[in-house]
Amino acid sequence: MTHLTWEELVDYWAGDGGDPDAADAHLFACDACSERSARVATVTETLRSEIPFIVTMPWVDTLRRRGMRFTDNPMQPGERREVPFTGDTDILLHRLAVDLSQATHVHFTLRDEVTGGVIVDLPDAPFERDAGEILVACQRHFVVFPPDTVAEVTVHGPAPVTHRFTILHRWA
């Protein structure tokens, strides 16, 4: 009996290529491959459930279909806002409005307002040019971060511009 390779198991769990029916049949018949498959599944399923810090609308749509509850927080550059993260919210979606029409890339940094310490630094944050906003998916386990933060969005293009948004999280 030929065993499935590690790469074939990764592809199987990622849903990339191969014949899933043949892999299923093999996994039911082969204890060694089933054990290795379980190890791969642990990693891939954990990664699949991770929500990026900055998301795009397709991510938001997928999460909504999964039943995640959102509270939208639209913000304009320079705005300072206190935002409650209540018990009926899974994701507090900060919609940071910026002109992305000529963006080549976006650098996102989240800092502690008091110390200036960097919490998150994404030099090449995902963005959708036509949407005109950066979507920050604040999640319940972020309660460990300082509550008063400053999001800096640097839009790189013909004339780079940095916008700041002060977000004062209030955990309920």
Residues 72/133, Cβ–Cβ less than 8 Å? no
Answer yes or no: do 80 and 104 share one domain.
Answer: yes
The verdict on residue 114 lying in a domain is: yes
Look up the domain containing 112 and give its range: 54-171
Tokens of 80: 């300072």
Q: CATH number for the domain including 137?
A: 2.60.40
Domain identity same for 15 and 96: no
Clarify whether residues 96 and 156 are in a common domain: yes
Q: pLDDT tens-digit profile of 64-90?
A: 998 999 999 999 999 999 999 999 999
Which of 98, 156, 153 minimizes the C-alpha distance to 130? 98
**Position 120 in a domain:** yes
CA atoms within 13 A on the CB side of 29: 10
Q: Is residue 79 part of a domain?
A: yes
Q: What is the model's pLDDT at position 46?
A: 61
Our count of domains for the chain comes to 2
1 is a domain residue: no
Token code pair at residue 42: 């642990």
The whole-number pLDDT of residue 48 equals 62
* pLDDT tier for residue 14 given thresholds of 50, 70 and 90: confident
Same-domain check for residues 72 and 89: yes
Q: Tell me: do 145 and 158 sit in the same domain.
A: yes
The reply to whether 116 and 38 lie within a common domain is: no
Average pLDDT, the chain: 90
Q: From residue 58, give the alpha-carbon distance in Å to each of 8, 12, 126, 131, 170.
A: 27, 23, 12, 12, 27
